[in-house]
Amino acid sequence: MTRILIAEDEERISSFIDKGLRAAGYSTDVIVNGTEALELALSGSCDLVLLDVGLPGIDGFEVLRRLRERNTALPVIMLTARTSTLDTVAGLDGGANDYMPKPFKFDELLARIRLRLRDAGQLAVTALNRGPIGLDLLTRRATVDGRTVDLSAREFALAEEFLTHPDQVLSREQLLSRVWGLDFDPGSNVVDVYVRYLRGKFGADAIETVRGMGYRLL
């Protein structure tokens, strides 16, 4: 699952972004200071950074500078309340891939994230197909026999996991971790509920229950 680092010290904003990205099927890490953000960004564990300019410790511009000194091509989208042209130019000249002034609409941020991930090769596969089922990973559009079906962000993420691993039995633990980012809770039935939702849209026989093991896309 694509992992996004949110380096933002305003809790209201970071929580808003975090919830939206998780609902869109991404895994996230939230960091509130520049020093820790730089350390995690350099660890190789994330695929894109949302980087606030006004971070405590070292600011976003310095984090970006040190990242680029290491010759990392990790995509970086700067987030800032500063709207001057000089700040925008400074961020882009420093190696940022994009720049989002606050306040922003989440849908626009999400579109820019997808674009930068695609540019970085994270979305080299842009479509998945299995029998009558198709997923367009760029437009987040799902079809069955060429007919568009409406999927929630979480349903789409679950469907993507199944189509990425056709014929493979996926356990509830795996699906919880990859789609919801949760450790396995034996009492949780969220996977079963969402599998039922997908069967209602893809067809009752599209996903097989493998007793005692999990689910498999047929």
Position of tokens 């869109």?
Answer: 24
Q: Is the pLDDT of residue 131 over 70?
A: yes
* CB proximity list for 171: less than 8 A, separation 6 or greater: 213, 214
Give the model's pLDDT for residue 31.
95
Is the full-model pTM beyond 0.85?
no
Q: Which of these ranges, 30-39, 79-88, 117-126, 153-162, has the smallest mean pLDDT?
A: 117-126
Structural domain boundaries in the chain: 3-119, 127-217
127-217: CATH topology: Arc Repressor Mutant, subunit A (1.10.10)
Mean pLDDT of 112-136: 78
Other Cβ atoms within 10 Å of 32 Cβ, number: 17
Give the model's pLDDT for residue 194.
93
Predicted confidence band of residue 92 (pLDDT cuts 50, 70, 90): low
Give the model's pLDDT for residue 125.
58
CATH number of 3-119: 3.40.50.2300
Give the model's pLDDT for residue 186.
58
